[in-house]
Amino acid sequence: MTRALLLLVAAALATAASAAAFTPTNTLAPRQWYLQDDHAFDAWASPPTNLAPVKVAIVDSGIDCSLPDFAGRLLAEKSFVGGNPCVDTEGHGTFVAGEIAADLGTTGIIGMAYTAQLLIAKVVNSADEIPLVAEAAAIRWAVDNGARVINLSLGGLRDVANPERDTYSALEASAVAYAYSKGAVLVAAVGNGDEAPSQPWPYASYPAALPHVIGVSALTRTGNVPDFSNRDPIFNDLSAPGVSIFSTFPAALTALRVGCPDQGYSDCGTEDYRNAEGTSFAAPQVSAAAAMLFATDPQLTNSQVGFILERTADDVNAASGCPRCGLLRDPLSGWGRLDVAKAIEALAGPLPPPDAYETNDDAGTQAHTVWGKTDTLKATIDYWDDPVDVYRVALQQKEKLRTQLDAPGSSGSIGLEVWLPPTIHVDKPASQKFLAASSTARHLAYVAPKKGWYYVEVRADSPGFAAYTLTLKKTAGPPATPPR
């Protein structure tokens, strides 16, 4: 099983520029129309000088390390498929890197996170495939080397209606969960319909369709969501410009177009990258925005960054140019259009509470283990991004477990459930025989019929976000000892 890079071809359109942002001095910046639509620099009257260094990993086809746009931006490069990570025969990774981190200067283009330090992971092999083992290893390498943001402009088909076509990978999911548990923000393209049986395709690709990954769809210059951009009511989180994107391109490939003036840039590249389009090129803008949030406030957690980016997005609807997009969150555009300025400005207000227990999304080792007779846990739950939290409790036979959930101001229905040993996964059809108790009243009492590990699940049953306090109290029965 493999993954694919996500790009298409489009024609150029016109757009109006914003006068609010500081004006980059890079000579080719005027061709980056998406900077204005993203309000990339509107939060600053002049280039900020106090940004903290942020490591951003690009898991892709490698990069042309020789391009002057990346001078001082490259921290480490590694290939997981053999060959030189500084040789990019596809051009895809070099293109993505330019959107994120091309340096502020007097020539070339500018990246939206132009102070970012890049970790380059090459995962496209000589057959133009992305082996899942390479992708998973690259994600782990990136976070082990300090990546706070990981860009994944790649994907594999998700097909809920046809499991035989679905490309879910436990290996990929484990790597993503590992990275998130270490504090990284993961951003992925939701996928293009040309890689699906039909378009528009109703499901986001993997890894965008995995928990805790920010899935990004594409927008046109008129504000519409193009047919090629995959839809998804749950895993499509944000949208960003994804047509007529201009960026860096390997010099060895642009040299094939003798006489093309902008060597090292995509308009001199191969046909697929001139006026390039695809969700692959929308995702890096969100990755760059995440990096700028971390650079502005290094104390932010990954869950806070994701929440801020999504909840400060500009709604995409009929009035803004997308006649098929509904008001507020919708399957085409998610929470809406990326707005970097609003995200930065949100740092001045109350921040969403962090969740210290992620990724506790299932039973087994993923669950957070609770020790002692009584424990109080403060966490968050989100129907779209984090719908399930699971806690593991050791109970003796006949020991009573009382649970109390308090979520003042929550905007959705929350369920509580207790699962018997030997539950392996919660909420799976094969696991239902292990469901011991369930409640939507936010409190529950249960007497253990046998000694073992029990699982308490907090589940978002309807759209909404909640910061909650879960109190677990064990009473009666013999003293608790961990089951063997």
Please spell the DSSP secondary structure of 119-144, one letter per residue.
Answer: EEEE---TTS-EEHHHHHHHHHHHHH
How many C-beta neighbours within 10 Å does residue 435 have? 16
**Selected catalytic residue, list 92, 205, 244, 355:** 92
Strand locations in 232-294, DSSP E?
A: 238-241, 276-277
Cβ-count burial 137-164 (b if 16+ within 10 Å, e if not)? bbbbbbbeebbbbbbbbbbbbbbeeeee
Q: Which residues contact 19 (CB under 8 A, 6 or more apart)?
A: none
Helix or strand holding residue 152 (H, E) = strand 149-152
Tokens coding 248: 């860096």
92 part of the active site:
yes
Give the separation between CA 270 and CA 215, rounded to whole angstroms. Answer: 27
Most distant CA atoms of the chain, gap in Å = 83
Q: What angle do CA 93, 96, 101 make, to 5 degrees?
A: 115
The answer to whether 314 is a known catalytic residue is no
454 half-sphere exposure, CB direction, 13 A CA radius = 31
Task: Determine which one of 37, 42, 60, 339 is catalytic.
Answer: 60
Q: Residues 223, 195, 236, 288: what is their CA dihedral angle, to the nearest 10 degrees?
A: -70
| DSSP3 helix / strand / coil % (the chain, rounded to 5) | 20, 25, 50
Non-local CB neighbours of 175 within 8 Å, separated by 6+ positions: 135, 136, 137, 139, 140
And the tokens for 95?
């293109």
Yes or no: say if 167 and 130 are a contact pair by the CB < 8 Å rule: no
Are 29 and 109 in contact by the 8 Å Cβ rule? The answer is yes
- Determine the straight-line distance between the first and last CA of the chain, rounded to whole angstroms: 37
Tell me which residue of 5, 65, 36 sits closest to 285, measured CA to CA.
Answer: 36
42 carries an active-site annotation: no
Q: Mind telling me the catalytic residues?
A: 60, 92, 280
